[in-house]
Each structure stands twice: as C-alpha cells, then as structure tokens.
Amino acid sequence: MDCFETLIGRLAAERNLSDSELAFLIENDSAAEPLFAAADRVRRSIYGDEVYLRGLIEFTNYCKNNCYYCGIRAGNPNAVRYRLSQEEILACCEEGYSLGFRTFVLQGGEDPFFTDDRLCNVISAIRKRFSDCAITLSVGEKPKESYQAYFQAGANRYLLRHETADDAHYKKLHPGSMSPENRKRCLFNLKAIGFQVGSGFMVGSPGQTTENLVCDLRFLQQLRPDMIGIGPYLNHAQTPFAGSPDGSLWQTLRLISLLRLMFPYALIPATTALGTISPEGRELGLKAGANVVMPNLSPVGVRKLYDLYENKICTGEEAAQCRDCLARRVLKAGYRVVTAVGDVKKEPEKNH
C-alpha cells in the first residue's frame, strides 16, 4: 500500500510518472482506492462538488465508416437507420433547455446527408434560439474548412475520441480507409480553430495492451484537451469483434483517476458505457474523478437505434426522467448537478 501511496502522491504533485509506473497503476487492482481518493481531492479542489450536464442528441445513425467495434458501422446491414430533422433536433434542445441543460451535444455517425451547409443551418438555428448555451459537435473526421464553418456557425466544442493512440492497434480496430494520422490531425485542427476539444479512448478494446493505454495517456499529454471521455469497450454481436470480452469496469475507473491526476482541470464524463457495464458505473466514475454526466435528450423512438454496443442503458425513458435519474445518482455519489454552461476551468498561468 505504501508503494501505491508514494506513487500516487508523486503523480498528484508532478502530474506525471514513468511509463512503467503508469502501467503498474493501470494494471493493479489494489491501486483503486488510493487512486480514487487522490483524484477526488483534486477534482474537489478545482470543481468542488459540481457536476455539469450535457444533453446528448444522437441525431443520425447513418455512417460511412466501418469501425470494427461499432454497431452502427456502415457494414452492419441489420442496423435500422434514422436521422432527425432540423425541427426534431430543435425540439430536443427546447425540451433540454426547459430541463436545465445549457450544453447540447450533437452526436452522430459520419452521415453524408449532413453536408456542411445542412449542419451549419442546424448549428446556427440552435445558436440563434439558445444564445446562452454551448453547442458541442461529435460528428467525426472532417476537413479543416468544415470545422471552421461549424465554428463560425456557432459551435464551440468538439468531441473526437482518438480511440487508441497506438498506430498498430488503431489499424486493428479500423479498416485501411481510416488512419490514426488523420484522426490526430483533426484534433489539432479543431484546437487551432478555437474549439474546446475533447478526446479519449476505449478501455479494453480487442487486442489492447497496457502499453497501448500508456500511449493514450502520452498522446493526451501532447494534445492537452479540455475534455477527456473514456469508457469500457462493449461487445456488439453484429461486428467483426462479436464475442470479444468487454473492457473492465475497474480498469476504466482507475484510468479516470489517472486522468484526473494528470489533467486536473479536464472535464471528464462518467459515460453511458460505464453505466452500461455496471448499474453503479456512473456513480463510481464520479467518485473516481469524473465531473460531467450526459443524459440522453434524443427522442425515445430512436434511442434504441443508436446502437453502438449491446444493452445500452437509458433507451426507454423520456428526457425528463433521464435527467432526474442522473441528478439523483449524482447526489447519491456525493455531488450536485448544476445548471451551467460548464466550460473548462483554466489553470492560473503562474503554476504551469
């Protein structure tokens, strides 16, 4: 135990450790409790007990890509496809606003129907109607000019998980038409444009090693994102990885704590995947250092169709129920949901 305490103390002070020390904490179940305690201290010193809400609108499940782990990949002929109209998206925002959401996350597959013009129209309409809200996009890899257009239309945040920072592992998870270089380039482009940028990775994706996870942490040190989303890999029967074991709840939690200690100011969600792998997953995620939750605002009729992985939770409830359920869970975990845009807090310059 002593040895964990010393390592974790150094990590909290220096925000860094050697590769082998990080690997040790990633692999070792006994590191969990001291890691959670240290991460919670850091999160409370910066964000107090506040938890920010993001209203997730899954607006299309059409996708031109074929990521081998994902249930809505183009190559899944059984996926029932849908896309929301601009009016439907605005209705989700309307409902979300009245429930206290001040951030809307538009997430979808890479759907060619949503040309830059169409997406910019949606963004400007939301921006006009909800001037006090943040608009977050999560629509994959695009040319820099497209990102620029979205930003000009009024979007201010972008989520694009790098998925895995190791090139060889990336190639095992994706077809040859996709490249780790392009995904990383997109992230740096988004930053240069001025978006608050979120990246992240799956924990326990098929073939992933501890070294791959260390590589993910190193990449995040280079990128310095404002938001970091991670969740366990979860099986989907209609993918080439069908039957691969799910990622581990506890390893994901330890990684959330490591992220909080390495990136004290980051916005880190307790993700739906975490809530799917365990009924208490999101509460545990918050206690491990997460400070964001993302209740679902998509119309109930389409929720089941945004089928990235099996047994996804929160597909049957109305937005209000989802919000209230999460607010209760947050309270139970010892924190408090707030009605706020919830921008990333910036570290005072003098320290680092």
Per CB under 6 A, residues contacting ligand SAH are 69-70, 107, 109-110, 138-140, 160-161, 163, 202, 231, 233-234, 236, 273, 308-309
Closer residue to ligand SAH in complex, CB, 122/308: 308
Beta carbon of residue 318, minimum distance to ligand SAH (angstroms, whole number) = 23
What is the 3 state secondary structure string of 87-137?
HHHHHHHHHHHHCCCCEEEEEECCCCCCCHHHHHHHHHHHHHHCCCCEEEE
Closer residue to ligand SAH in complex, CB, 102/142: 142
DSSP letter for 171, please: H
Beta carbon of residue 157, minimum distance to ligand SAH (angstroms, whole number) = 13
Closer residue to ligand SAH in complex, CB, 40/111: 111
Tell me the backbone φ, ψ of residue 116, rounded to 5 degrees.
Answer: -55, -40
Beta carbon of residue 283, minimum distance to ligand SAH (angstroms, whole number) = 19
Closer residue to ligand SAH in complex, CB, 7/160: 160
Whether residue 95 contacts residue 58, with contact meaning beta carbons closer than 8 Å, is answered with: no
Beta carbon of residue 336, minimum distance to ligand SAH (angstroms, whole number) = 27
Q: Reduced to 3 states, what is the DSSP secondary structure of residue 227?
A: strand
219 is written with which tokens? 């990449």
Buried b (16+ CB within 10 A) or exposed e, 229-258: bbbbbbbbebbebeebebbbbebbbbbbbb
Closer residue to ligand SAH in complex, CB, 54/236: 236
Whether residue 132 contacts residue 162, with contact meaning beta carbons closer than 8 Å, is answered with: no
277 is written with which tokens? 């792998």
Closer residue to ligand SAH in complex, CB, 11/54: 54
Beta carbon of residue 160, minimum distance to ligand SAH (angstroms, whole number) = 5
- In whole angstroms, give the CA distance from residue 175 to residue 75: 11
Beta carbon of residue 98, minimum distance to ligand SAH (angstroms, whole number) = 26
Q: Reduced to 3 states, what is the DSSP secondary structure of residue 229?
A: strand
